[in-house]
Amino acid sequence: MSELTHIRTSEEATQAQAVLEWRRPLIGGVILAAIVVASYWDFFYRQVQFIINHQADWGHTAVIPAIAAYFVYLQRDKILAKPFRTTWIGLVPVVLGVAMYIAFSLGPLAIRHHNLQAVGVMTTIVGLVLLFCGFRPMIWLWFPLLYLFVFGQTISDRFMNIVTYRLQDIAAIGSYYMFNLMGINIEKSGNILTIIMPDGEERGLNIAEACSGMRMLMAFLALGVAMAYVGLKRFWQQAILVFLAVPTALFVNVLRVVTLGLLTLVDADFAAGDFHTFIGLVWLVPAFLIYLGLMWIVTRVVIEEDDADGSDTSSQAEVSVEDRS
């Protein structure tokens, strides 16, 4: 009886220790998050306000922190395999991050920028992780942190304009040729398409109003990286899937512009306003299905040798069993 009680006590102690091992990093993570949010409250407030005011363009950034947290959850066993160790060198990026944030917030107007401030915020986060967790967990935490930094912030127009104009050209050219294939009389002047109605009426479609596709491209890159990280094992498969996010987003954006152009044949007001935003959201569903199909193709381009060997081994085992019988 006493031995049975001892076993139960030992099991309860093991379970309590396991719960404690989970609670410590969880509490530590909550404390770190609270420190960062409190220190950079104005940055996160502006980020949330920008998402609320531009849901159609940057709504996907609201779920990026949850995806990054899921990446950490997938690697929880490896991260918690050994106790965390304080690394005082983490104070260096913490101080550097704070200094960068202050410089990009209070410095000359030319360098006051939301995305540059994000560099200071992320540098501080990396420093805090190093300070409280050590170098070993960073083997698995660097990717979620990088994913959060790249896709978890809105991009200002100052940076967007660097590539937006080229994407507008691609959308205009692709839409022009697609309209021609459909037999619709259309003219192109720069980024403006003019649909000529049967009665001679002209209806313009400005690609700037129809969106260049840059925001959709960022959303698809975030989706592609997440799907590749979770669903694919080989690096070359992951790289191909992420690369395919670019032509997929550009192609779907052309289809969106063409859809808006066809709707202008019914009512010219359909190409602007809330209805324009609605069409963009509708096209995200088939775009996601297209991307899932591409992922399915990538996973079956090459038959893995391990799988082939496994199937041969199992078939040989079945043959041997039959021979014995």
Q: What is the pLDDT of residue 275?
A: 65
- In tens, the pLDDT along 265-322 reads 776 666 666 666 677 777 878 888 888 898 888 888 765 555 445 444 444 444 443 4
> For residues 201 and 188, is the Cβ–Cβ distance under 8 A?
no
Q: What is the pLDDT of residue 29?
A: 67
Q: What is the pLDDT of residue 199?
A: 72
Q: What is the pLDDT of residue 320?
A: 42
Q: What is the pLDDT of residue 142?
A: 93
| Domain ranges (residues) in the chain | 2-154, 159-308
Instruction: Report the DSSP beta bridge partners of residue 192.
Output: 189, 206
Q: Which residue has the tokens 């381009």?
A: 301
| 84, 86, 87, 91 alpha-carbon torsion, rounded to 10° | 130
Q: What is the pLDDT of residue 31?
A: 77
> For residues 172 and 193, is the Cβ–Cβ distance under 8 A?
yes
The H or E element spanning position 111 is none
Going by C-alpha positions, the residue among 253, 258, 261 that lies closest to residue 197 is 261
> For residues 121 and 40, is the Cβ–Cβ distance under 8 A?
yes
Give the list of residues 6+ apart from residue 309 with CB closer than 8 angstroms, or none. none
Q: What is the pLDDT of residue 321?
A: 39
Q: Which residue has the tokens 């959201």?
A: 281
How far, in Å, CA of 80 to CA of 25, rounded? Answer: 8
Going by C-alpha positions, the residue among 222, 279, 225, 224 that lies closest to residue 253 is 279
- Pinpoint the alpha helices (H) of 40-134: 41-53, 55-58, 64-74, 76-79, 91-106, 114-133
Going by C-alpha positions, the residue among 171, 247, 179, 164 that lies closest to residue 206 is 171
Q: What is the pLDDT of residue 298?
A: 86
Q: pTM here? A: 0.74
Task: Enumerate residue ranges in the chain where pLDDT < 50.
Answer: 1, 4, 6-7, 16, 18-20, 209-210, 307-308, 310-325
Q: Which residue has the tokens 């899921």?
A: 70
At residue 300, the 3 state secondary structure works out as coil
At residue 226, the 3 state secondary structure works out as helix
